Amino acid sequence: MLSEIQPYHKRGYLCIDDIVKSVADYFGKEHMYLHAKGLNFTYSPKIVEGEGVLSKLRTSCNYPTYLKNFTKELNYLKDFIGLDVEYVTDLTKEELLSHIRRNLKESNPVAIISSTYYIPWYEQYYNKVNKLHTFLVTDINDKTMSCVDGFLTQDLIKLELENLEDYRGILIFRAVKPKKELNLHNVLAQMIQELEKNHKLENSDSIRIFAKDVYNITFLESEKERYSDLDYSDFMIGLKFMEYGRKNLGDLFYYLSNIFTAYSKSLLDIQSKIDSISEQWKMVVVFIVKGYYSDQTAYYAKRASEQLLDIAKAEEEVTKLIVSLKVKTEEKNEKSNKRKEEK
């Protein structure tokens, strides 16, 4: 039904990023504005001393920690991309398949949110690790569905309907007219608005709170038994969200520099600083990994904490640059409008 949809994957993209890119291409839309929330920071739930830290997703930027917030948190995709995302859950299998069939018939791409434990083509995690994963459905018949999962493979996948298990819900994508006029002022305003919603516009104190807790981090023996590979842990996945989210935001600024050429220098300057911040987040990941696999957890936790404090300061500086650039676009627009009125 939607055989035109092609799998896509880019290093640093999550499965949902890949899906948005593939769906945006299908609808003839630009996906890059997906990364507008890449400077956000959410730290929840907090680390509690004496408790395990690895089994929970504690940090994020682009995406909500809880699935129930998906529709609300992805509302901004309507602004410049023109994508409406509906999250539907609590479906029986019959209802799930009925929703998929109806939406595919209407040419609305559908993604299934499932568990890696039950996804046969996710060989690393299949029957081993229980993590959320999302893939697209492009066709369905009485016995199988055709799927696209660019995060894992460039091949078309067939999934037997009888093997569809442990689904958490679906995401339905619809093309809509972008809500806002595409200009640099509006794009920057969206970023600032999202930072404000995230309580990160005024300062990066949320990162400093995280840094303080990381300073005292410990790993329980029970955790080390469960997570022989630290990459399997939600905690590590969340940290990588931060590294990738910043890098993708940097790519967005580079993209904007080629569109709004009058501001290229300022945009590229911001991109360079964001790329450096992404590398700093990568170092936090490295320190946590070294602390986990060595007997020097306290030493590397201290290094990670210090790095986070540097990140907080650097991100505040970038936020100020974004706000300052928005002000410049406002002033330029006002002058332009005044000249038009005088004519």
Tell me the pLDDT of the chain (343 aa) as tens digits: 588 999 999 999 999 999 999 999 999 999 999 999 999 999 999 999 889 999 999 999 988 767 777 788 899 999 999 999 999 999 999 999 999 999 999 999 999 999 899 999 998 888 888 888 999 999 999 999 999 999 999 998 999 998 888 888 899 999 999 999 999 999 999 999 999 999 999 999 999 999 999 999 999 999 999 998 999 899 999 999 999 999 999 999 999 999 999 999 999 999 999 999 999 999 999 999 999 999 999 999 999 999 999 999 999 999 999 999 999 998 777 666 666 655 5
* Distances 58 to 147, 224, 225, 284, 296 between C-alpha atoms, Å: 30, 18, 21, 14, 23
Structure tokens at 69: 């917030």
Q: Going by C-beta distance under 8 Å and a sequence separation of 6 or more, which residues neighbour residue 31?
A: 20, 21, 24, 25, 81
Angle separating helix axes 205-215 and 297-342, nearest 10 degrees: 170
pLDDT of residue 73: 85
Q: Is 137 helix (H, G, I), strand (E, B) or coil?
A: strand
Angle separating helix axes 297-342 and 264-293, nearest 10 degrees: 170
pLDDT of residue 70: 78
Q: Do residues 6 and 22 touch, judged by C-beta distance below 8 A?
A: yes
pLDDT of residue 131: 86
Strands 169-175 and 157-160: unpaired
Q: Which domains does the chain have, with CATH numbers?
A: 15-30+83-175 (3.90.70.10), 184-333 (no CATH)
